[in-house]
Amino acid sequence: MNTKQDYIAVLDSGLGGLSVLRHLRRRMPGERFVYYGDSAHAPYGTRSHAEVEALTMNAAAHLMSYGLKALVVACNTATAAAIIPLRAAYPNLIVVGVEPALKLAADRYPGGSIGVMATPVTLREEKFNRLLQRCASACQVYKIPAPQLVPLIEEGLVDTPIMEQTLHQLLDPYMGRINALVLGCTHFPFASHAMERMLGPSVAVLDGGDGTARETLHRLEKANLLEHGTGEVILENSRNGEAVQSFDLTSLQVPTFNRLYLLLGNKSVVELYPNGDVFEADETFPANIKGIISPTPTNTGLYWGTVNGEIQTMAKDSIVIGGDIEASCKITFNPKTFELTFGERHGWTSLPSIDSYYILGTISGHWQDGEIKEEKAKMRMQGYESGDLRYYTWFPPEGDNVETGMWGSIAAGTFQLKKAGEDSFILWNGTQLTTGSAYDTSKSFPVTAGGAFEIRVYFEGDECTKVSVIGSERTLEFANEQVKANGVTLGNGIDFAGTQLQLKSGTSYIYEGEVELTKGETISSNTVDLSLCAPNKDLFAGSGNANWTLTSSTGKYFIQIDAFSGSSYARPASGYPDAIYMYGWSWAHSQAGTAQNWQVDSALPLVRVGNSFVYEGTCYVFSWGGDVAFILTNPSGETKIELPNVNFDANSNILNGNATHFTLPTVEGYYKVSVDLKDGITISDGNPATVTPNGSGNFTLRYTLQ
């Protein structure tokens, strides 16, 4: 039996439904809401009808645990795909969907022209097209598919050049041709101000959020279920993996977080740690810096910005953090009251250029640099001091000139810090900050991911206390006996599926080991956020989620996790007949991955398909050509037996002149690599071992462009 005190659930593919929640709260301030944003699977608008229906039904089943009297599907795509099965599954529940405000626009502009901007799925669904048919006689309607807007809004890129460029691409063909623009996705109202500026005052921008709120109110009143309490909202998001976030609606208060992050305009991230009801940190801020506050370092889910100088949730304007000078202070944020306070400012004085450090090593983002072994102007760090404290900072310079720029980003590699004009170096021996009088590549700071990172080095007196690599999504900190990656203090081991992966020899934050896994097993870690890692899709499902599921066969697997870059590597721990392995050059595990060059320890696993002797795996092939070989034994084993090419047919592009090599395609892209050994092979003992086919048919090697 439903009661007035039960929750109203609001469901969306991400953050867009918050626009509907605002209308619901305004019309029903005394209600208790639970909001679920499925950002892990956003956008829904590019998925199939069946996928959207399944995701929506799963989310609804989860929300039912709260005790509901109503469910609002605040997503046009999910409404079109799942509203009927939802009502069938929950006949005693008030289920309300959303639909584009097309009828409102048609009534307001009879005989006019209306643009409807929505996801491709919404525009092709039967529900929308029935609505279109009812309104088509009254006005001219233009369908405007806009799948690219949802990811931009999910990432908080509302008031940015890329959003403006995208809107121009979508709307320029309709300038001067439409009277109204109907927003057919609940994400789109977050970009409505940008649309209004572009279209001008003569074009109305309409969304259906208030209509959904009015319908929900009407149905609750009719069922005598309307509540007039103090109001509450619970926010959940499938991407951020944080604890449920609860708010008192009277002032949007009482969130529960493990930590918060201040995301600065220079792309650095400041962690705010809990101290009672507030979150605080001591940090150095550049002059005139701005930022937003988020529960995640990647700004997924809820965030705080400003509107007219007042801090609010999901507000697009940044919070002013720094002053006119480089300064540090204690920053305190109270998420219950939205109060941001600063302690006494501690000013920093710029140091002369002679008092500086230079960055050496292989991290330059300019391909012409190679390894930098001497002082170079563009690699000079700017120093600041305050009393006994000093720090030096450097941002990768913009531009493609090799002497002055490196496109604003660093490459994966290693670096050292050299004091200007002196043979004095700050080094890293794997566990300790140390010094030296010569360039020593064995004692470099490792950086396994490229991007727009700031590098900082901190001193107390003459002692270097910390070296940081700071980015918008990933951070590294090196201190004595302590390495932090993405806010997590690392030790000698990390948990993976209940087994400890050990720190790889010679590294500071890469872990590896063999783990016994069961097919269908859900894999998690209580040490590292697996949502930051991309698993091998040939072996696991769950890319982008906090949990992975093994889709390959039960057995032992070699696992390697880079706690900083988020890269992961996995392969079966056995060889033929369970798996074979490809290595060579001109390919990588992903488009963004490092090109392989006959690296056995990162060979591509090709996993056996069923009971056949067909082996398949997926990789990214570059366009400059290359060749590969296939290993029949565990790549980490002492014995390495390669598959000979003599038994393969002519379509396998056998590389002549080498008995175990095969050519790669020269068209760049993702490929499925398939090796069919027909009836299997026999591997004889001996040194060298011999490999013979068990049948008479030729083997095949196929590369299928994905």
**Residues 550, 521 contacting (CB under 8 angstroms):** yes
Residue 332: CA count within 13 A, CB half-sphere: 14
Is 494:525 a contact under the CB 8 Å cutoff? yes
Could you give the C-alpha distances from 200 to 88, 107, 606, in angstroms and in order? 44, 21, 56
DSSP H or E stretch at residue 195: helix 192-199
Element housing 168 (H / E)? helix 161-171
Number of residues written out for the chain: 706
Helix (H) or strand (E) holding 608: strand 604-608
Task: Give the whole-angstrom CA distance, residue 278 versus residue 152.
Answer: 31
Instruction: Give the tokens for residue 563.
Output: 């706690």
Question: Which residues, other chains included, contact 57 with Cβ-Cβ below 8 Å and sequence gap of 6+?
Answer: 82, 85, 86, 89
Can you list the positions of beta strands (E) in 140-203?
140-145, 180-183
Least Cα distance to 280 among 238, 359, 235, 341 occurs for 341
**Longest Cα separation, the chain:** 86
SS3 at position 40: helix
**CA proximity to 389, closest of 280, 467, 470, 464:** 464
- Which residue in the list 135, 139, 185, 329 is annotated as catalytic? 185
Burial classification of residue 185, based on how many CB atoms lie within 10 Å of its CB (0-12 exposed, 13-18 middle, 19 or more buried): buried
Q: Which of 75, 135, 139, 329 is catalytic?
A: 75
Residue 582: what residue type? M
To the query of whether residue 75 is one of the catalytic residues in this protein, the response is yes
Q: Distance between CA atoms of 643 and 614, rounded to whole angstroms? A: 14
- Residue numbers annotated as active site: 75, 185
